[in-house]
């Protein structure tokens, strides 16, 4: 329960309109485009809502058709948008997905977007147990970077919401050289951190999960994901590793956000670390099998069976 009966979790960042080829073919072949809403933080909020949590998204949209469509779609997914600010002058951001099972390309049209005007005074719902943000936001503008300083202030009130941070480096927004020290600084200040082993290597030269832990020794919950292989969670001196599920990959964008939603759901529910990681993998596998950035969770019966499975049954499961 949220402290005031409001959302349990608030996800903060930019949500954009998404154009995706309806047939899953490369975008330059032409054809119909499906229009939807996407953004790392909104994807996490959607995943949490799909798992039964009261989840909110906080950010800014333009006073335009794309902005109204984004807000309506998030509400349809069960996400609370009451804190969203509407900018009368700046447009809603837009991106085009160019599908490829080996790694889709994304083309952004977000310069000067309404979200880039976020800042330390951006309104957030009160009373949540958890605030989630990502390393995309500080790259959008100086104001957005200042917002991250507010969320992850070292002197933030004791007993306030846990702050979760997904490193989520986007080379199209800023180079690894420029992003590396800032993302490490923000990650070190968070209560829970998600980072891919590949991006940790690219940003910080880390050669595996143990080296990432050495860079972030004080983070209470550190999750290092190694694509389709496994995920490791460090809590203090303890380490839990859970292999990923075998599944067909239709489109990979959004799987990391789905994983974060599953893990954070387990955290909110008080599940053991191993089950949090398994729920993350279950959500990621469902997203990998879908053409969009989000997908419905596996049915409750499937989730319950696999969360309770022994290690051998988990390793042999195919979703």
**Could you list the active site residues?**
257
Find all residues with CB under 8 Å of 187, minimum gap 6, and list them. Answer: 135, 165, 167, 193, 195, 216, 219
Pairing of β 192-196 and β 60-62: unpaired
State the CB neighbour count (10 A cutoff) for residue 88: 8
State the CB neighbour count (10 A cutoff) for residue 155: 5
The partner residues of 35 in beta bridges, in order of sequence, read 19
The partner residues of 246 in beta bridges, in order of sequence, read 318
Q: Of 199, 142, 139, whose CA–CA distance to 167 is shortest? A: 199
Report whether 50 contacts 129 (CB < 8 A).
no
Distances (CA, A) of 203 to 174, 178, 197, 208, 271: 11, 9, 10, 12, 31
What tokens appear for 62 in the block?
A: 């333009």
The partner residues of 20 in beta bridges, in order of sequence, read 34
């Amino acid at each position: 329960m949220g402290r005031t009966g409001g959302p349990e979790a608030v996800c903060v960042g930019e949500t954009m309109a998404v154009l995706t080829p309806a047939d899953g073919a490369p975008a330059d072949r032409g054809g119909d485009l499906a229009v939807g809403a996407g953004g790392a933080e909104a994807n996490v909020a959607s995943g949490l809502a799909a798992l039964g949590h009261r989840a909110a998204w906080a950010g800014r949209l333009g006073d335009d058709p794309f902005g109204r469509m984004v807000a309506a779609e998030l509400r349809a997914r069960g996400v609370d948008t009451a804190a969203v600010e509407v900018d009368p002058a700046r447009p809603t951001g837009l991106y085009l997905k160019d599908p490829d099972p080996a790694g889709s390309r994304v083309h952004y049209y977000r310069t000067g977007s309404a979200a880039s005007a976020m800042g330390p005074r951006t309104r957030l719902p009160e009373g949540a147990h958890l605030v989630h943000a990502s390393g995309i936001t500080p790259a959008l503008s100086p104001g957005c970077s200042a917002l991250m300083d507010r969320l992850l202030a070292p002197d933030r009130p004791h007993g306030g919401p846990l702050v979760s941070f997904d490193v989520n480096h986007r080379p199209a927004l800023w180079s690894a050289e420029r992003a590396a020290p800032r993302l490490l600084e923000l990650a070190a200040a968070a209560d829970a951190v998600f980072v891919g082993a590949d991006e940790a290597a690219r940003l910080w030269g880390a050669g595996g999960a143990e080296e990432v832990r050495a860079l972030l020794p004080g983070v209470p919950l550190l999750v290092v994901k190694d694509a389709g292989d496994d995920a490791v969670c460090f809590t203090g001196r303890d380490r839990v590793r859970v292999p990923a599920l075998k599944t067909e990959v239709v489109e990979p964008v959004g799987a990391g956000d789905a994983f974060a939603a599953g893990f954070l759901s387990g955290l909110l529910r008080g599940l053991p670390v191993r089950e949090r990681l398994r729920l993350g993998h279950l959500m990621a596998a469902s997203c990998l099998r879908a053409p969009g950035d989000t997908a419905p969770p596996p049915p409750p019966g499937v989730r319950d069976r696999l969360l309770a499975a022994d290690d051998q049954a988990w390793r042999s499961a195919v979703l």
